[in-house]
Structure 1
């Protein structure tokens, strides 16, 4: 997820003209032989004019991953990619797709399900396979998971202006990684 965040940061801030992916989801992330993630499928990506931070489109991304403003109003912005990233992070942590009809419906989605579990019962919705059987779940690992879930929730705020930027995502992921890897 760190590799994906860095790729999106490059798209948004690595050039004079920001590029918005518009369809960030696990199927568009490829892993190489070293398990390094690469973002692919730029078929519906948009190049934002230098003077504009958003654009309008009629091309939709994938349901479950698109930001509310993108789906309802056709507004494309960097914060829409951040929203999609947050949903992807939730999917990785919970091992549940946002379109899982068995669990989610029009009243309850992946974000709301995780938000309701956070912070008290978050370990009940996190994929147990993240921790091998022989590995003890420590308070340190719980803090790491809680930090990741909090990051995902901050990425998926309903109002685009309330979401953090992808630069903030990368900073927080680095902080989580450094905190968790300390001995």
Structure 2
């Protein structure tokens, strides 16, 4: 025992004294500082958790494809290119909406009626099927909503294989075992969904071509509008160009040219093999589907326009995707097949370079693919623009031929752009563009 008689402080008393003592931090007590630090740590932990979760949800939404390929999974794509959906005023006075719609659809409706002696079994406008008629008619089949719900497992998110501006595409298995792609048009804008529905039916209802996605049938019940397509099981070109494919792309130079030529043949058929001709209006890499042998199929005709023989162009509001839309169409609203040719030129640049048409992550001079491409060609640096993921370099003549086709397709003078049939010949002909050199040598 101490002689002084002072009490020895207990451990609890000493700890309590330290916690209640004031610190140099804003003269706050120690326990208040500890509480603030703990709250900060918890807040930071919560913020990190929410960010990680949001990132995972975002990646899951951008691509839900589960199809396997011989070289591995179909690559995911994180880049999103904004679509032009806002209407712009036409440069010239236009007729009332009802008259304009009738004028635009007159040729297509007439062609469909001529192709079918009897009327289809479905009232497309009201979504009703006539009783006592067959489910199958000239260009496709009528599917009930229940059939498509069963095929897609209730339109399950796990069956989503694509999402666009106007709808969601699901993978579906019909009762006969066949696999289809079901495009469910968004009905939050009934007028736009109805317009796209009618356009796709009229544009490609009876079209059969190996480089165009075939329309099998449709569903029209109440406000629901759905289109049933043949299923292409190897994703789209955008995924293979811009997805994570590793250090070497499975798209060799020969495969890329095969895709370009097949796409050009599909467009040539739309422009030159049909009457009235069909202007796609939304050619881009995500609308080029690929099968297991890398054969391309042009898809998504929701923005297509029909152009009769007596019309050199049609005036319409500007719609499409940034980076692919031709300058004259963007500025005037005057649309013809030359607009598709320009879009194909941009697509061919994308195939050659592996770059997106618009990429804001690149330096200022390289954001716009067309401007950067022109600058590289004018500087005689064409060999440097090739996609670095291509392992085997293409023959110099083949590369120069493809580069020249790109430049001709994006000519600012729409009248100087080649027709799609000519583009097919340019890409396939071994002597193009060296005919003059060959003749002089001879």
Q: Please tell me the TM-score bracket, short chain as reference.
A: 0.7 to 0.9
SS at structure 1 position matched to 2:289: strand
After superposition, the C-alpha distances for 1:109-162 in whole angstroms (9 at most, x for unaligned) are 3122112222621111111222x2xx4x4xx71221121011011000112112
Superposition map of 1:26-45 within 5 A = 26-45=285-304
Residue 50 (structure 1) shift: 1.9
Of the two, which has the highest radius of gyration?
2
Measured at CA, do residues 177 and 24 of structure 1 come closer, stay the same or move farther in structure 2, by a change above 3 Å? farther
| Match of residue 345 from structure 2 | 86
Is the 1:4–1:39 Cα contact (8 Å) retained in structure 2?
yes
Measured at CA, do residues 114 and 30 of structure 1 come closer, stay the same or move farther in structure 2, by a change above 3 Å? same
TM-score (ref. length: structure 2): 0.37
Whether 2:403 is the aligned partner of 1:145: answer no
Is the 2:426–2:432 Cα contact (8 Å) retained in structure 1?
no
Structure (1 or 2) with the greater helix fraction: 1
Measured at CA, do residues 25 and 104 of structure 1 come closer, stay the same or move farther in structure 2, by a change above 3 Å? farther
Paired residues, number: 173
Is the 2:353–2:386 Cα contact (8 Å) retained in structure 1?
yes
Distance 1:6 1:104 in 2: 35
Structure (1 or 2) with the greater strand fraction: 2
Superposition map of 1:27-106 within 5 A = 27-103=286-362
Measured at CA, do residues 118 and 178 of structure 1 come closer, stay the same or move farther in structure 2, by a change above 3 Å? closer
TM-score (ref. length: structure 1): 0.86
Aligned pair partner of 1:123 in 366, 375, 383: 383
Question: Structure 2 stretches of 5 or more lacking a match?
Answer: 1-259, 434-442
Distance 2:425 2:266 in 1: 14
SS at structure 2 position matched to 1:52: coil
The list of structure 1 runs, each at least 4 consecutive aligned residues, that deviate by more than 6 angstroms after superposition, is: none
Measured at CA, do residues 168 and 68 of structure 1 come closer, stay the same or move farther in structure 2, by a change above 3 Å? same
Distance 1:106 1:56 in 2: 33
Residue 105 (structure 1) shift: 5.5
Distance 2:313 2:363 in 1: 30
After superposition, the C-alpha distances for 1:7-64 in whole angstroms (9 at most, x for unaligned) are 0000001112110000000011100122110000000000002201210111411110
Question: Structure 1 stretches of 5 or more lacking a match?
Answer: none
Superposition map of 1:99-114 within 5 A = 99-103=358-362, 109-114=368-373
Aligned pair partner of 2:417 in 140, 163, 166: 163
Is the 2:366–2:372 Cα contact (8 Å) retained in structure 1?
no
